[in-house]
Amino acid sequence: MNRDIPLYQRRRDPTGSELAGIPWLKLLSPDEHRNAAGHLTVADAQSGELVCRVGRPVTYWFGVIEGLLKMSTDSADGGTMTYAGLPPGGWFGEGTALKRESYRYNIQALRKSVVAGLPVDTFHWLLDHSIGFNRFVMNQLNERLGQFIAAREIDRMNNPDMRVARSLASLFNPVLYPGVGEVLRITQQELAYLVGLSRQRVNEALTALEAQRMIRVEYGGLRILDLAALRSRVLPPGQVASAHG
């Protein structure tokens, strides 16, 4: 595939199976479904390719059909703040689409991914006509707010095991990412990109979490065993002081 061709010029019509994996389509009336499905497009993003870029005006509301994306911004000191990983089933950018403003973050593919896009005008048409779609977007906004607050907390954590545990828990959010289920297809290197740690340190954290029966490392991914424990992962008493600096 020629990466010199912009992503939007590579868009195509979604297949039947791709449409079946879009969660909010099931909430629409037949007329609403026909209108939305008729405007949906998909594109194949390559690893490292940007789907959205800071400062670009919004044109689509995006979702992940296959693959894994990263939502992040670059700070003034040259660092990167990662807000979220975006696994299959996740839709993002509804706040930006609502306000029709420019993106304040970058969305980058961490591996070859299939990304769906709904034109922003169709997004607003659904808001004007569909109660089910409105409820879906409201739930998205509510969950996303909690996710961003958690991302700020994770960014301040000095304990790697806690960072990995909380970051994994956010990827298993059943509201934001209904396509994940109990198994997340992710490599240790991809997880390292999301949490801002080395692959070796992520491997050590995963080993510790597996020993505590919170997860099970499987070929090509991770199986969740105790989501509540991952979400509430706390430090042993002797490590509390170091975690807060």
What region, left, alpha or beta, does residue 78 occupy, with left being phi > 0 and alpha being psi -120 to 50 degrees?
Answer: left
My answer on whether 143 and 162 are in the same domain is: no
User: Residue 140: which domain range?
Assistant: 7-152
Last residue of a domain, one of 93, 120, 152: 152
Both 103 and 20 in one domain: the answer is: yes
Task: Please indicate, yes or no, if residue 65 is contained in any of the structural domains.
Answer: yes
CATH of the domain at 199: 1.10.10.10
Residue 3: the pLDDT is 60
User: Final residue of a domain: which of 152, 186, 218?
Assistant: 152
Q: What is the Cα–Cα distance from 190 to 67, expressed in whole angstroms?
A: 11
At residue 81, the 3 state secondary structure works out as strand
In a domain, 113, yes or no: yes
Same domain, 105 and 217: no
In a shared domain, residues 135 and 14:
yes
Tell me if 110 sits within 8 A of 186, measured CB to CB.
no
Q: Which two tokens stand for residue 86?
A: 């975006």
163 inside domain: yes
Both 14 and 99 in one domain: the answer is: yes
In a domain, 183, yes or no: yes
Span between the terminal Cα atoms of the chain, in Å:
47
Residue 177 domain-assigned (yes or no): yes
CB 7 within 8 A of CB 112: no
Q: Is residue 1 included in any domain, yes or no? A: no
Question: Residues 183, 222: contact at Cβ < 8 Å?
Answer: yes
The packing angle between helices 188-195 and 160-171, to 10°, is 100
**pLDDT value of position 243:** 36
**Mean pLDDT, contiguous 10-residue spans, the chain (245 residues):** 71 94 95 96 94 92 94 76 86 93 93 96 97 94 77 67 85 85 87 89 92 90 88 49 35
**Total domains present in the chain:** 2
Last residue of a domain, one of 136, 152, 168: 152
Residue 35: the pLDDT is: 96
What is the per-residue DSSP string for 146-176?
A: HHHHHHHHHHH---HHHHHHHHHHHHT-TTT
Same domain, yes or no, for 132 and 198? no
Here the CATH number for the domain that contains residue 78 is: 2.60.120.10
